Amino acid sequence: MSPIRREPGTDDALFWELAEPLLASGEVEEGTIMGFPCLRTSSGGFLAMAEHRTGDLVVKLAAGRVEELIEEGAGLPFAPAGRRFREWVHVPERDEALWQTLLDEGRAFVDGGSA
């Protein structure tokens, strides 16, 4: 397993703490997306990353689930460089249980195409 690369100047400790057991189990692997460290499923699909400026969770989910999280106020649209990604949500609140749930939902979605 490759070493976890933390982004300097961000508070991404919770993200990588939740990633460690997934990486150790082989359920996910470390990769890069847009030049930043991320998690990919064992099938190679992009799953999640720590937002590179803040360390917040950014995770891939079904578009309907993304909208639900945004409407509830738990998530924000993920729109790097102004382009919104429908199946990605930015979750700024540091809530370990929520982040774990969303990582699990994301892994099921990316591997199975539905959630």
- Give, in degrees to the nearest 5, the angle at Cα 19 between 56 and 69: 45
Please list, in sequence order, all residues whose beta carbon lies within 8 angstroms of the beta carbon of residue 96, skipping any fewer than 6 positions away. 14, 18
- CA 88 to chain CA centroid, nearest Å: 8
What is the model's pLDDT at position 1?
42
Q: What is the pLDDT of residue 7?
A: 58
The pLDDT value given to residue 2: 45
pLDDT tens string for the chain (115 positions)?
A: 444 556 566 799 999 999 999 999 999 999 999 889 999 998 999 999 999 889 999 999 999 999 999 999 999 999 998 999 999 999 999 999 999 999 999 999 999 865 5
Tell me the CA distances in angstroms from 112 to 28, 46, 90, 96, one per residue in order.
14, 13, 21, 24
What was the pLDDT predicted at 62? Answer: 98
The pTM for the full model equals 0.90
